[in-house]
Amino acid sequence: MLMTTSAKNQKRIAIYGKGGIGKSSTASNVAAACADEGYKVMIIGCDPKSDSSITLLGGKRIPTILDLLRQNIDVREKDIVFEGYGGVKCVEVGGPEPGIGCAGRGIIVAIQKLQKACPSMSDMDLIIYDVPGDIVCGGFVAPIRKGLVTEAYILTSGEYMPLYAANNICKGLAKIDTPLSGIICNSRSVTREEEIVRRFSEEIGSRLVAFIPKEQIVQDCERDGFSVLEKAPRSDIAHVYRNLAKAIMFNDQSILPGSLDDERLRELTR
Amino acid sequence: MMGKELSIIHPRPSSIVAALYTLRDLNVDVAILHGPPGCSFKHARLLEEDGIRVVTTALDENGFVFGGRQELSSLLEKVNEMFKPRLIGVVGTCASMIIGEELREPVEDANLDVPVIEVEVHAGYPDNTKGVLITLESACEVGVIDREELERQKVLLHEATQVEKRHGAASRQYLEPSRGDVKYKVAERVIRLLQEGRKCITIMNAKKETGYMFADITAAVNEVALALGKEGNVVNMANVDDSLGLPRVRHHAKCIAADLKERGITVHEIIGGMDEYPVTGERVNELIKQKYKDYDFALITGVPHAIPMEALEGMEVISVTNGPRQVLPLKEMGHQHVIVEIDLHPKTLGVNHIVESEFGATLREVAKDMLGK
Ligand code: SF4
């Protein structure tokens, strides 16, 4: 297998979680926070919505790898890698039109292209894969299976559905022998939310690495096309992201996660 | 897993291939494989020799990711222009079916005034007859066959699957291919039996176009019997009813029956149509019970494992198959001699006259030596 990402201390993480739970904003804020600390960071958005990088690029959309492949363009690094806030290198995988083709296969093809076309991947200190939704098929696990990801994080809130998805992802990770490095709670202001997610994390054998409170400012910055780190660097929430970034960069604990049965999951969220 | 059916691990034609052959029997002029360029390559090429055009949308990696609706509709237009077909078939493949391709929409996009049989099939069905079934159902929807024929075919397909599972290539997880017994030795045996005045039944129970070669064996046995003056000791059965089956299949029956007649060979008992090979066994059984109980040996060609052993009790059985994986099951059924006509299929595609078989030729040659003629 071609491995361009061979640097020794490089962190290659994937963030999984239910669709719409806030993976992209978390990923881009973490990327920005790490860039602020002087790390070389790359963010690879695997969601067809291509919204992982938009807040690092001042609201600008970039061509996706699959857009270019669709046009039969032989992609090179400069066609797909765009520098954003703090020098963060942004890549978007893109996807087929809804209802047509195979998004999972698209991820596989795109990351293979990326590996080939993008030598600068090996210079990075941190590469973040922002993977959509639940682990739904082999294609979505490709970044892990192809050896591109070494650590996985799960983002969830304290509601039943995101936890259900998180639990499923744990099953998937265990199946493909990939350790989980921690759970991140992106709050939806549910009662006892932090406690619920903490309990969940512990019961599957992992830990809660961050609790991100729900703050309007995140959405406001996003709407303007910025991360909070760029637009509101002195806000409390920016501080939370900085702590999360630190936790990720210094994290050296990971475990093969267990999972809960549905009854226990319901009990937790009741 | 509970109740899991026997999984067959030796290679067999897939449902995609079965669909292609069925389209051929429905007399399509062009079959389009919607999928990767190499899919079903060998059969596609054979079918081209049989007079139909087989083309592919040649989906590549991009096609898997983005779908191939556009590719299929423009290929439909191109094919229509190039070949002026009267009937077209479109066959799915694993690649296009896994990504959820729809065949109806591109057919509608192309908007041809030629009927198109859409076959949404992949290779992942354990019984490849599934490919036939899906094709026939679609053909019925388009009005190419009527419901009655569809129902008849369904029964035959079910029986064909059962025959294969009982004593055929699907009877065992793995069957080693074998060339069977040596042909000239079996030829010698047949000639000796005829010389001794033993009474012979030839049973041609052939699957569709394979009959073009199996009929040659019936012809050869009759020729040898005639040379020995024992023609009265041979009775011929064959599934050459030309009133049954899909258009091309009926045509085969007509051609084979006409050729046999021209060679002066009487088919004493017509045991069914050329697609009825899985259900002829009972008819053969009844006929033997009623009229041919005292016959000494039977020479069965085509799908010999569809004839029940009950029918052949007390007879020496010689069988000729074109399936190298069929030798062991036939031996186990109790057939004393089993031989294989290698390469039968490529030689019988695209023909409309009887084709010389290796065993027929051997019989004729050995007879010349033995009889000094
Ligand atoms: S896997 Fe399926 S689609 Fe691919 S070549 Fe084989 S039969 Fe065709």
A176 and A39 Cβ atoms separated by less than 8 Å: no
C-alpha count within 13 angstroms, C-beta hemisphere, residue B167: 19
Q: Is the CB of B58 under 6 A from ligand 1?
A: no
- Residue B212, both tokens: 């073009």
Q: CA B338 to CA A233: how far, in whole Å? A: 85
- Residue A11, both tokens: 């962190």
Residues near A95 by Cβ (< 8 Å), separated by ≥ 6? A47, A48, A64, A66, A103, A106
pLDDT at position B152, please? 98
pLDDT of residue B307 exceeding 80: yes
A83 and A53 Cβ atoms separated by less than 8 Å: no
A171 is an active site residue: no
pLDDT of residue B214 exceeding 70: yes
Q: Is the CB of B99 under 6 A from ligand 1?
A: no
What end-to-end distance do the CA atoms of chain A give, in Å? 46
**Nearest of A204, A99, A180 to residue B66 by alpha carbon:** A99
Instruction: Using DSSP bridges, classify how beta strands A41-45 and A89-92 pair: parallel, antiparallel or unpaired.
Output: parallel
Compute the C-alpha angle B291/B292/B294, nearest 5°: 125
Residue A72 in contact with partner chain B when CB distance is under 8 A = yes
B353 and B334 Cβ atoms separated by less than 8 Å: no
pLDDT at position B4, please? 58
B102 and B45 Cβ atoms separated by less than 8 Å: no
Q: Which pTM value belongs to this model?
A: 0.86
CA distances for B61 relative to A87, A110, A267, B67, angstroms: 33, 11, 45, 10
Which one of A67, A68, A72, A100 would you mutate to disrupt binding with B, by most B Cβ within 10 Å of its Cβ? Answer: A100
A8 and A154 Cβ atoms separated by less than 8 Å: no
Mutate to test the pocket of ligand 1, among B40, B94, B97 (most ligand atoms within 8 A of CB): B94
- Residue A185, both tokens: 């709670």
pLDDT at position A49, please? 81
pLDDT at position A143, please? 85
**Nearest of A150, A212, A155, A206 to residue A182 by alpha carbon:** A206
Residue A215: CB atoms within 10 A of its CB come to 17
Q: CA A118 to CA A100: how far, in whole Å? A: 28
Compute the C-alpha angle B89/B91/B95, nearest 5°: 160
Which one of A102, A116, A136 would you mutate to disrupt binding with B, by most B Cβ within 10 Å of its Cβ? Answer: A102
Q: Whose CA is nearest to atom 2 of ligand 1?
A: B94
| pLDDT band per the 50, 70, 90 thresholds, residue B260 | very high
* Per-residue pLDDT tens digits for B99-109: 989 899 999 99
Q: Whose CA is nearest to atom 8 of ligand 1?
A: B39
Distance from residue B52's CA to the centre of ligand 1 (Å):
21
What are the phi and psi torsion angles at B64 (to 5°)? Answer: -65, -35
The B residues from 93 to 132 touching A (CB cutoff 8 Å) are 98-100
* Per-residue pLDDT tens digits for A116-153: 999 999 999 999 999 887 777 888 888 888 888 989 99
Identify all chain B residues contacting A70, using CB atoms and an 8 Å cutoff: 62, 65-66
Distance from residue A113's CA to the centre of ligand 1 (Å):
24
Q: For residue A181, what is the DSSP state? A: E
The backbone region for A59, taken as left when phi is positive above 0, alpha when psi lies in -120 to 50, beta otherwise, is left
Interface contact B99-A70, CB threshold 8 A: no
* Per-residue pLDDT tens digits for A195-247: 999 999 999 999 999 999 999 999 999 999 999 999 999 999 999 999 999 99
Identify all chain B residues contacting A103, using CB atoms and an 8 Å cutoff: 65
| pLDDT band per the 50, 70, 90 thresholds, residue B2 | very low
A175 is an active site residue: no
**Nearest of A68, A67, A65 to residue A108 by alpha carbon:** A65
* Per-residue pLDDT tens digits for A64-110: 999 999 898 889 999 999 999 999 999 999 988 888 899 889 998 99
- Quote the minimal CA–CA distance from A62 to chain B in Å: 19
- Between B66, B69, B98, which is nearest A70 by CB? B66
pLDDT at position B372, please? 79
pLDDT of residue B373 exceeding 90: no
Report the C-alpha dihedral over residues B4, B8, B12, B13, rounded to 10 degrees.
10
| pLDDT band per the 50, 70, 90 thresholds, residue A1 | very low
Q: CA B128 to CA B95: how far, in whole Å? A: 17
The per-residue pLDDT of chain B, averaged, comes to: 95
Q: CA B24 to CA B46: how far, in whole Å? A: 11
Give me the amino acid identity at B148: E
Identify all chain B residues contacting A99, using CB atoms and an 8 Å cutoff: 100
Q: Is the CB of B94 under 6 A from ligand 1?
A: yes
- Please tell me which residue of chain B has the smallest CA distance to A105: B65
pLDDT at position A5, please? 40
Distance from residue B90's CA to the centre of ligand 1 (Å):
15
A45-61 mean pLDDT: 91
Helix (H, G, I), strand (E, B) or coil at A18: coil
Q: CA B69 to CA B85: how far, in whole Å? A: 21
pLDDT of residue A4 exceeding 70: no
Question: From the candidates A11, A23, A113, A231, which is the catalytic residue?
Answer: A23
* Atom of ligand 1 at shortest range from CA of B35: 3
B254-266 mean pLDDT: 98
pLDDT of residue A168 exceeding 50: yes
pLDDT of residue A7 exceeding 80: no
- Please tell me which residue of chain A has the smallest CA distance to B61: A109
Instruction: Using DSSP bridges, classify how beta strands B200-205 and B297-302 pair: parallel, antiparallel or unpaired.
Output: parallel
| pLDDT band per the 50, 70, 90 thresholds, residue A47 | confident
A181-198 mean pLDDT: 96
3-state helix, strand, coil in chain B (%, to 5): 50, 15, 35
Q: Whose CA is nearest to atom 3 of ligand 1?
A: B94
Q: Is the CB of B8 under 6 A from ligand 1?
A: no
**Nearest of B265, B267, B304, B307 to residue B283 by alpha carbon:** B307
B256-260 mean pLDDT: 98
pLDDT at position A142, please? 84
Which element (helix H / strand E) includes B270? strand B269-270
Mutate to test the pocket of ligand 1, among B12, B16, B61 (most ligand atoms within 8 A of CB): B16
Which element (helix H / strand E) includes A268? helix A262-269
Which has more confidence, B17 or A173? B17
* Per-residue pLDDT tens digits for B107-134: 999 999 999 999 999 999 989 999 999 9
Helix (H, G, I), strand (E, B) or coil at B193: helix
Q: Which residue has the tokens 């066994």?
A: B281
Which element (helix H / strand E) includes B318? strand B316-321
A172-182 mean pLDDT: 91
